[in-house]
Amino acid sequence: MESAEQKTLWTMTANAKPDLTAAFPAHADVVVIGAGFTGLTAARELALSGKSVVVLEASRIGAGASGMNAGFVVPNFAKADPAAVYQKLSRDKAEALLRLVGESADTVFSTIRQDGISCDAEQVGWLQPAYGAATAAMLQKRAADWQALGRPVRFLSREEIQQQTSLTIYSGGLLDESGGTIHPLNYAYGLAATILRHGGVIRENAPVESIHRSGTAWTVAYAGGEIVGDRVLLCTNAFTTGAASRMGRSTVPLRVYQVATKPLSPQAVARIAPDRRPVGDTRSNLFTYRLDRDNRLISGGMAIIPFGAFARVGKAVVDRLADELKLETHPGVEIVWTGVAAMTPDFLPRIHTFGDGFFGGIGCNGRGIAMTAGLGRVLARAALGEPVERLPVPHQKARPLPFHALTPMVASAALAQARFNDWRTR
Ligand X SMILES: Cc1cc2nc3c(=O)[nH]c(=O)nc-3n(C[C@H](O)[C@H](O)[C@H](O)COP(=O)(O)OP(=O)(O)OC[C@H]3O[C@@H](n4cnc5c(N)ncnc54)[C@H](O)[C@@H]3O)c2cc1C
Q: Supply the minimum distance, in Å, between the C-beta of residue 67 and ligand X.
A: 7
Looking at the Cβ atoms of 30 and 68, the one nearer to ligand X is 68
Q: How far apart are CA 34 and CA 361, in angstroms?
A: 11
CA 304 to chain centre: 22
Comparison of 75 and 172: residue with beta carbon closer to ligand X: 75
Q: What are phi and psi of 66, to 5 degrees?
A: -65, -25
Task: Select 103 or 136, whichever has its Cβ closest to ligand X.
Answer: 103
Angle, to 10 degrees, between the axis of helix 104-115 and the axis of helix 91-102? Answer: 40
How many residues in total does the chain contain? Answer: 426
Give whichever of 35 and 196 is closer to ligand X, judged by the CB atom.
Answer: 35
- Min dist. Cβ of residue 397 to ligand X (A): 19
CB of 133: closest distance to ligand X in angstroms? 27
Phi first, then psi: what are they for 201, rounded to 5°?
-125, 135
Closer residue to ligand X (CB): 9 or 35: 35
For residue 348, the minimal CB distance to ligand X (Å) is: 13
Which runs of E-coded beta strand occur in 223-302?
Answer: 225-234, 252-261, 279-280, 288-291, 297-301
CA distance 141 to 146: 9
Q: Footprint of ligand X on this chain (CB under 6 A)?
A: 1, 33-39, 56-59, 63-66, 68-72, 74, 207-208, 235-237, 239, 241-244, 256, 258, 339-341, 364, 366-370, 372
Give the whole-angstrom CA distance, residue 144 versus residue 149: 9
C-beta atoms surrounding 166 within 10 Å: 17
Sequence-distant (6+) residues with CB within 8 A of 340 are: 2, 64, 65, 68, 238, 253, 254, 255, 256
Q: Output DSSP code: residue 122.
A: B
Q: How many angstroms separate the CA atoms of 291 and 297, rounded? A: 5
136 or 391: CB nearest ligand X: 391
Q: Are 65 and 366 in contact (CB under 8 A)?
A: no
* Complex with ligand X: residue 170 or 187, whichever CB lies closer: 187
Q: Which of 251, 257, 261 is nearest to 325 (CA)?
A: 261
Q: How many other CB atoms are found less than 10 A from the CB of residue 162?
A: 17
Q: Are 81 and 97 within 8 A, CB to CB?
A: no
Q: Which is nearer to ligand X, 85 or 336 (CB)?
A: 336
CB of 119 to ligand X, least distance (A): 13
For ligand X, give the closer residue by CB, 171 or 258: 258
Residue of minimal CB distance from ligand X?
A: 368
In angstroms, what is the minimal distance from the CB of 76 to ligand X? 10
For residue 351, the minimal CB distance to ligand X (Å) is 12
Shortest distance, position 281 Cβ to ligand X, whole Å: 14
CB of 71 to ligand X, least distance (A): 5
